Amino acid sequence: MTRLANLFAGLPSTATVDEQFSELLSRPGLRIERIVSTGQSSPPGFWYDQAEGEWVAVLQGRATLRFADTPEPVELAPGDFIDIAPHRRHRVESTDPGQTTVWLAIHFADV
């Protein structure tokens, strides 16, 4: 059965405290999710170290990523995307507190 949905439906206001993660599609070796940030960042000292690869795009808003293996942060604006290799340590330095940031994240098994 085909299900029609919209990535921008039901967005929270920028006053929302918690980041929202919504799984859009899941298959063996593949997971697609929408992430909605309203000024959140990774906790101090925390690094993602994921076993799967991740392709992530910012659809709306702005975000800054930091990678453990590079000195400069990566700024993401609407339309920007990046492919993150498995076990590449990274963190979200910031998301825009003045507007809702919508991400599309595709997690995939590295085969």
Delimit the domains of the chain by residue range.
24-108
pTM for this one? 0.89
Q: How confident is the model at residue 111 (pLDDT cuts 50, 70, 90)?
A: low
pLDDT of residue 42: 95
pLDDT of residue 12: 78
Burial per residue of 18-51, b for 16 or more beta-carbon CB atoms within 10 angstroms, e otherwise:
ebbeeeeeeeeeebbbbbbbbbbbeeeeeeeeee
CATH number of 24-108: 2.60.120.10
| Chain segment 16-45, per-residue pLDDT in tens | 668 899 999 999 999 999 999 999 999 999
Q: Which residue shows structure tokens 């990678």?
A: 67
Q: How confident is the model at residue 10 (pLDDT cuts 50, 70, 90)?
A: confident
CA 28 to chain centre: 20
Please say if the pLDDT value at position 95 is more than 90.
yes
